[in-house]
Structure 1
């Protein structure tokens, strides 16, 4: 009796590339925001006092020493 031909199931990735790209983009944005709030000290936020004060208040809110 001939053996029946069996097919192997396709291997699916554990994480979709779209989800991975979204997570990497979100992580990059959050790291940039953390840099601006915690370490910028006004170097990038010189466009006006409003943005500088917002970042300064964010440092106080997070407990990051700023002065």
Structure 2
């Protein structure tokens, strides 16, 4: 007998209501993702020249190909 991908319904023919995720559980992860994304964009796109927080060129060389892939000019 073939099985369907649709979950079975209750005896009354109604599907159960979806479970909501509270905002308090999502908010810390959303803030963490936003901060991490901003840090990554900074290091790939702006860690060079006058805005450089880390001396030397190793950060630039480490993110060089990512800069070109994302369209940031670097030379």
TM-score, reference length from structure 2: 0.55
Aligned-partner Cα distance in 2 for 1:47–1:16: 42
Number of the residue aligned with 2:71: 63
Q: Considering Cα pairs closer than 8 Å and 6+ residues apart, tell me whether 1 or 2 has the greater RCO.
A: 1
Q: Structure 1: which 5+ residue stretches go unaligned? A: 1-13
Residue 22 (str. 1) matches residue 29 (str. 2): yes
Aligned-partner Cα distance in 2 for 1:15–1:66: 43
Pairing of 1:27-46 with structure 2 (within 5 A): 27-41=34-48, 43-44=52-53, 46=55
Aligned-partner Cα distance in 1 for 2:30–2:68: 28
TM superposition shift of 1:15: 4.5
Pair 60,45 (structure 1): closer, same or farther in 2 beyond 3 Å: farther
Cα RMSD (Å)? 2.3
* Structure 1 stretches of 4+ moved >2 Å: 42-49
